[in-house]
Structures are given as structure tokens and as C-alpha cells.
Amino acid sequence: MTDGMFTIFLVDDDAGVLKALSRLLRAKGYEVRPFASAEEFLEGHDSAVAGCAVFDVAMPRLDGLALQQIFTASGNQRPVIFLTGKGDIPKSVRAIKAGAIDFLTKPVRDKNFLDAIARAEEVDARTRQTSADLAAIQAKITTLTPREREVLTHVIAGRLNKQIAGDLGTVEKTIKVHRGRMMEKLGVHTVVDLVRLAEKAGIAAHGK
């Protein structure tokens, strides 16, 4: 899923700054997608691409902080770095609380900037890894039959095969078969692994 190069979505209304930052990042080997306004960014953003966003705080119409709100509200988990003309502590606190990687003051030193980008890269990679794992689990779960899925919820609830059979009005042997297939499909060998997986996939135990 982490296809292609790490891409930085750069948003700054100042053409000169936008160009300079782009140049710096490209010189360090990053892919850069510059945008002159928040609106352009929202239109041109591709969440599938690995990368991070760099927002200028002071922009006409939609400023950086407002852009962050809209961006995250739409379910995007891309890490965001802010650049600001002047150190504004209340704004920076708000931004960090909303999940920003960093809040940097212009003119920004390359080390600080690149460090922040590197951190964003890590965060992004992690996030992407997590989502990728989840997606794999979800995909396995979808292969389960309804009976197997039912058995799953009972197993992770800590029930024995005999009890499950009783609950489902069948024989212990049948449950044993379902359980075996389910474990195989999900690629787990122990109940502990199964419980962890179900937890990741957000599947609730029976009766809970």
C-alpha cells in the first residue's frame, strides 16, 4: 500500500515561499506537490499517496488551522506540519492537540523542517502499516461463513466447544469443525492470537 515516494503536500499562498520550500524538499529527495491555497489542496489531495502535509497558517479565506479541521474531519490521517510567520502559542497548542506533527516558525531552518518531515514520515508509515494490517484482517474475516463468524464471537468470549454447541443448538463435533476452519481462514493457531485479531478488527465477543 505504501506505494511510490514519500510525497509532501505543501500549501502556502506565498508563491516565493512555496517555490523555495519545494526546492529544498526536492533537493532532499522528496516528492513535492505544491498548492497555492487551501482550496486547491483539498481538490488535489490524494490520500492514497504516502506523505505528509505542510500548511501555512496565514492564508486568505481558509487558513491553515481551518484547513486542518476540514482535512481531519473527512477522516484523513495524514500528518500535518504547520508553518507560521509568527510564533502564536495558542494557535500552536490548538494545532498540536488536533494532531499536528509540529508548528514551525518562518523562516524555517532546514534541519528543523527536515526533522519534522522525517517524523511525519515515521508517523505516516506507522499509520499506514496499522491500516494495512487492519485491512488484511478485515479481508480474512470477510471469508468466514456466518456460522464460522458466530463461532468466532463465542470463542473469543471464552466459551468451550460443548457450551457453544449448546448455545447454537448443535453438537460439539460440528462446532469443532467450524472452529478449525475459522482458525485456519484467519491464520491463527491459538485463542490468544484470535482474541487479539478480533480486537483489532473491532469484533465484539458474544454477549458483550
Partner 1 sequence: MRDSRPFVGAKREWTHTALACAALLLLATIQASAADTRRVLLLHAFGHPYSPWSDMAGSFRAELVKKSPEPIDLYEVSLDTARVQNPQDEGPFVEYIRALLAGRKLDLIVPAGAPAAFFMQRHRGELFPAAPMLIVGADLRRIPGAALTDNDTGVLLDLDLPAYLKNILQLLPETTDVAVVVGNSPVERYWTSELRRDFQPFADRVKIEWFNDLTYNEMLLRAASMPQHSAIFWFLLSEDAAGVTYAQDRALEGLREVSAVPVFAMGDYEFGRGIIGGPLMQTQALGQEAAAVALRILKGETPGAIDPPPVVFGAPMYDWRELRRWNISESRLPPDAIVQFREPSGWEQYRWQIALIAAVLAAQTFLIVYVLIQSRRRRAAEAEATEQRQEVAHLMRVSVLGELSGTIAHEINQPLTAILSNAQAALHLLAQKSPDLEEVRDAINDIVHEDNRAGDVIARVRNLLRKGEQKSKQVDLDELVTSTIALLNSELIRRRIEVETDLAGRLPATFGDPVQLQQVLLNLFMNAMDAMASTAQPQRRIKVSTRALDGGAVEVRIRDRGTGIGRKSQAQLFKPFYTSKTHGLGLGLTICSTIAQAHGGKLGLVNHPDRGAVAVLSLPVQEFLAAAK
- What is the binding site for partner 1 (CB under 8 A)? 13-14, 16-17, 19-21, 23-24, 26-28, 58-61, 63, 83, 85-86, 106-110
- Residue 111 CA to residue 118 CA, distance in Å, equals 10
CB of 42 to partner 1, least distance (A): 17
CB of 50 to partner 1, least distance (A): 22
CB of 74 to partner 1, least distance (A): 21
Closer CB to partner 1, 109 or 189, in the complex:
109
CB of 4 to partner 1, least distance (A): 21
* Buried b or exposed e, range 52-66, using 16+ CB within 10 angstroms: bbbbbbbbeebbbbe
CB of 55 to partner 1, least distance (A): 14
Closer CB to partner 1, 19 or 126, in the complex:
19
CA 88 to chain centre: 28
Closer CB to partner 1, 59 or 197, in the complex:
59
Closer CB to partner 1, 84 or 161, in the complex:
84
Q: Is 186 exposed, middle or buried (0-12, 13-18, 19+ CB in 10 A)?
A: buried
The enclosing H or E element of 112 equals: helix 110-142
Closest CA to 76 of 173, 24, 146, 9: 9
- Residue 151 CA to residue 165 CA, distance in Å, equals 9
Closer CB to partner 1, 8 or 151, in the complex:
8
Set of cell numbers at residue 89: 502559542
